[in-house]
A = this chain, B = another copy of it.
Amino acid sequence: MATTQSLLDAAVALAQTRRKADLDDLIEELRIPSISTLPERREDCLRNARWLGDRFDAMGMKTQIVDVVEGGLPVVIADWQGRPGKPHLTMYGHYDVQPVDPVDGWKSPPFEPAVHGGELWARGAADNKGNHMACVKAAEHLHAAGGLPINVRFVIEGEEEITGPSLPRYLRAHGADLKTDTVLIWDSGMDEDGRPTLATALRGLLYTELRAKGPAVDLHSGTFGGVAPNPINTLARVIGELKDRHGHVTIPGFYDAVRPPSAEELAAWKKNDARYVQNMRRMTGAKALEGEEDFLAVERTGSRPTLDANGFIGGFTGKGAKTVIPAEASAKVSMRLVPDQDWQAILPAFKRRVSELTTPGVEISVEVIGSAPPVTCGVDHNAARVLRAAYKEAFGSETALIRVGGSIPVAVDFQEAVGAPLVISGITQADSAIHSPNEHLVIDNYHRGIEAVIRFICGLAE
């Protein structure tokens, strides 16, 4: 068998000579509109799972496409245990993507990948097909160069964007069989300065839907205005008061469990905050940033919890005037939670606050449509050091330690059911517009990312 170093060199050489094919493969996956939240896209999601399964089969891995939950989307599991005695690495990704609306906002069709000046534009390019394909290609190049130097497992799910139950249930049921030394969750990205990152924490999520019911039927605002309860006004007032104009969430006890940053973290953030604010202003394109004035911007997006309405609909929303007091209105409200907040403790406090803010003529129901606990992960272990070294080689840059504002709900299931150290990272640049129109990936990051994963895998073999 070849030495790890010669294997690495051969695989990196392959990655450098097969760039066009590597990009074409990613483009092929991006053409599959695997939007998990839309029932009419179910067949596309299944097709994407099989497409991935075929790639793993081609490497001689033991591939399964597992239906865990009836009517859910399957988990793709691919195992290769050809190096007994060597470390075992699990690589996580998801093949499902977000809806594309507002579709008018796209400059090229979301499922017809287009290259614009070194960037690949498509829904899923950054979140998460660009990421997991970099891992898949790294494994393929190592396979072609003579065989993977360690044992590996891919776990790629189809319900990340809908916080579905399939993978968590699978992990909890098969934790013992999924023994591994490291879990690489490649569903994150570079920081605002273009450096590779390693996450020390992820925010959790509590996503709810509020339905406000007022009159039994839509009413004329002339005849009834003054006595009819208006579910839009009430729901708007509730949302307006759940978070005040200074970004402070008003749910009693909401901040009680929030773990403050360390002195070191705070010092690093202070140094970078002005540049971070500049980057955020550029990326949001907003006139001004918002949020809790007493906290740094970087702190507010990574280690402070927040609350946002993600959707609101009620009454007449067509063109022109219709003087109606509608029977109902509804809104989606999500909270991003940080260590050590517990969504199950916050939910009843949230419900109480909503009901306290409601007026007697309007009834507001609260339904949970998604949740994920926040996650913390240490970076003082071998896998983290190996990944930082791999990044240094592939990107020529030090790795930034960050707290991630987003949530990767399944991270906590890996942590609790599988138990191995988590390494959370990824290669999408900070302005990749994930979940937005014109999602895109810097193509150079994709190729460097393939090389970084090759180096990471070989590093773990040492």
Interface string of A322-342 (1 = CB under 8 A from B): 111110011110101000000
Q: Which of B105, B247, B302, B336 contacts A217 (CB 8 A)?
A: B105
Cβ of A434 within 8 Å of any chain B Cβ, yes or no, is: yes
- Chain B residues near A267 (CB, 8 Å)? none
With both beta carbons as reference points, the residue of chain B lying nearest to A289 in the complex is identified as B227
Rounded to whole angstroms, the CA-CA distance of A375 and B85 in the bound complex is: 90
With both beta carbons as reference points, the residue of chain B lying nearest to A221 in the complex is identified as B308
Q: Which of B203, B291, B322 contacts A222 (CB 8 A)?
A: B203
**Is B370 a contact of A220 with CB atoms below 8 Å?**
no
Q: Which of B162, B280, B330 contacts A227 (CB 8 A)?
A: B280
Distance between A36 CB and nearest chain B CB, rounded to angstroms: 9
Tally of chain A residues near chain B (CB < 8 A): 104
Q: Which of B163, B233, B286 contacts A216 (CB 8 A)?
A: B286
Most buried by B among A205, A285, A286, A362: A286
Distance between A349 CB and nearest chain B CB, rounded to angstroms: 19
Q: Which of B220, B239, B311 contacts A435 (CB 8 A)?
A: B220
Distance between A221 CB and nearest chain B CB, rounded to angstroms: 5
With both beta carbons as reference points, the residue of chain B lying nearest to A311 in the complex is identified as B315
**Is A405 a contact of B223 with CB atoms below 8 Å?**
yes
**Is B310 a contact of A226 with CB atoms below 8 Å?**
no
With both beta carbons as reference points, the residue of chain B lying nearest to A37 in the complex is identified as B320
**Is B286 a contact of A321 with CB atoms below 8 Å?**
no
Q: Which of B224, B310, B360 contacts A288 (CB 8 A)?
A: B360
Cβ of A218 within 8 Å of any chain B Cβ, yes or no, is: yes
Interface string of A190-205 (1 = CB under 8 A from B): 0000000000000101
**Is A322 a contact of B435 with CB atoms below 8 Å?**
yes
Q: Which of B226, B322, B325, B329 contacts A247 (CB 8 A)?
A: B226
**Is A316 a contact of B405 with CB atoms below 8 Å?**
no
Cβ of A271 within 8 Å of any chain B Cβ, yes or no, is: no
Distance between A87 CB and nearest chain B CB, rounded to angstroms: 31
Rounded to whole angstroms, the CA-CA distance of A301 and B224 in the bound complex is: 6
How often does this chain occur in the complex, in copies? 2
Rounded to whole angstroms, the CA-CA distance of A102 and B216 in the bound complex is: 13
With both beta carbons as reference points, the residue of chain B lying nearest to A435 in the complex is identified as B220
Interface string of A237-248 (1 = CB under 8 A from B): 111110101010
Cβ of A98 within 8 Å of any chain B Cβ, yes or no, is: yes
Distance between A341 CB and nearest chain B CB, rounded to angstroms: 14
Rounded to whole angstroms, the CA-CA distance of A273 and B307 in the bound complex is: 43
Q: Which of B207, B216, B221 contacts A336 (CB 8 A)?
A: B221
**Is A223 a contact of B369 with CB atoms below 8 Å?**
no
Distance between A422 CB and nearest chain B CB, rounded to angstroms: 17
Cβ of A348 within 8 Å of any chain B Cβ, yes or no, is: no
Distance between A126 CB and nearest chain B CB, rounded to angstroms: 10
With both beta carbons as reference points, the residue of chain B lying nearest to A214 in the complex is identified as B286
Distance between A99 CB and nearest chain B CB, rounded to angstroms: 6
**Is A236 a contact of B312 with CB atoms below 8 Å?**
yes
Cβ of A151 within 8 Å of any chain B Cβ, yes or no, is: no
Query: Can you list 15 A-B pairs, Cβ within 8 angstroms, ordered by A?
Result: A105-B217, A163-B321, A222-B336, A226-B292, A226-B300, A226-B405, A227-B291, A227-B301, A236-B239, A290-B361, A312-B313, A313-B313, A313-B314, A316-B332, A324-B435
Top 6 closest pairs, chain A to chain B, by CB: A216-B285, A222-B406, A237-B240, A226-B300, A240-B240, A311-B315
- With contacts A161-B322, A221-B336 known, what are 18 further pairs, Cβ within 8 A? A99-B316, A222-B406, A224-B405, A226-B302, A226-B336, A228-B284, A228-B290, A230-B290, A232-B331, A233-B308, A288-B360, A290-B360, A310-B316, A312-B314, A312-B315, A316-B332, A317-B330, A317-B332
